């Protein structure tokens, strides 16, 4: 699976070209203005918006502070359901382990959750 990219030039080159094009710059500003105006209209309709936002931030902070607990809980439940879970400190080790397991089990598809991709066996 590949990312769709039609312009092979370096990222900074493409950004500089867009920033030099007044039409594109104006289109970006207009899109941003429309987005923020519509967002503000929705936010203004919800009286508890700031409360929801603060609760969400607290939840995010809690999950990140306890991520090891949640990952272990997920792994336990996944294994109970029959999944094979493997933790690796380095992405290369994870990829090597996954590919070795993939080949040993003669699988046809491998889903790697980070980064998301599917690889098909030949």
pLDDT band at 111 (very low <50, low <70, confident <90, very high): low
Extract the tokens encoding 4: 């769709």
Does pLDDT of 19 surpass 80?
Answer: yes
pLDDT digits (tens, 9 = 90+) for 34-56: 999 999 999 999 999 999 999 99
CA-based nearest residue to 90, from 59, 57, 114: 114
The answer to whether 121 and 107 have CB atoms below 8 angstroms apart is yes
Average pLDDT, the chain: 85
The per-residue pLDDT for 84 is 79
How far is 102 from 121, CA to CA, in rounded Å? 9
């Amino acid at each position: 699976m590949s990312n769709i990219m039609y312009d092979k030039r370096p990222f900074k080159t493409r950004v500089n070209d867009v920033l030099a094009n007044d039409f594109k710059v104006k289109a970006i500003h207009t899109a941003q203005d429309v987005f923020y105006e519509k967002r503000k209209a929705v936010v203004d309709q919800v009286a508890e918006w700031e409360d929801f936002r603060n609760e969400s931030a607290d939840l995010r902070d809690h999950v990140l502070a306890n991520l090891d607990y949640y990952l272990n809980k997920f792994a336990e439940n996944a294994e109970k359901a029959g999944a094979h879970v493997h933790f690796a400190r380095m992405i290369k080790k994870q990829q090597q382990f996954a590919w070795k397991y993939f080949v040993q089990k003669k699988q046809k598809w491998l889903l790697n959750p980070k980064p998301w991709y599917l690889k098909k066996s030949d």
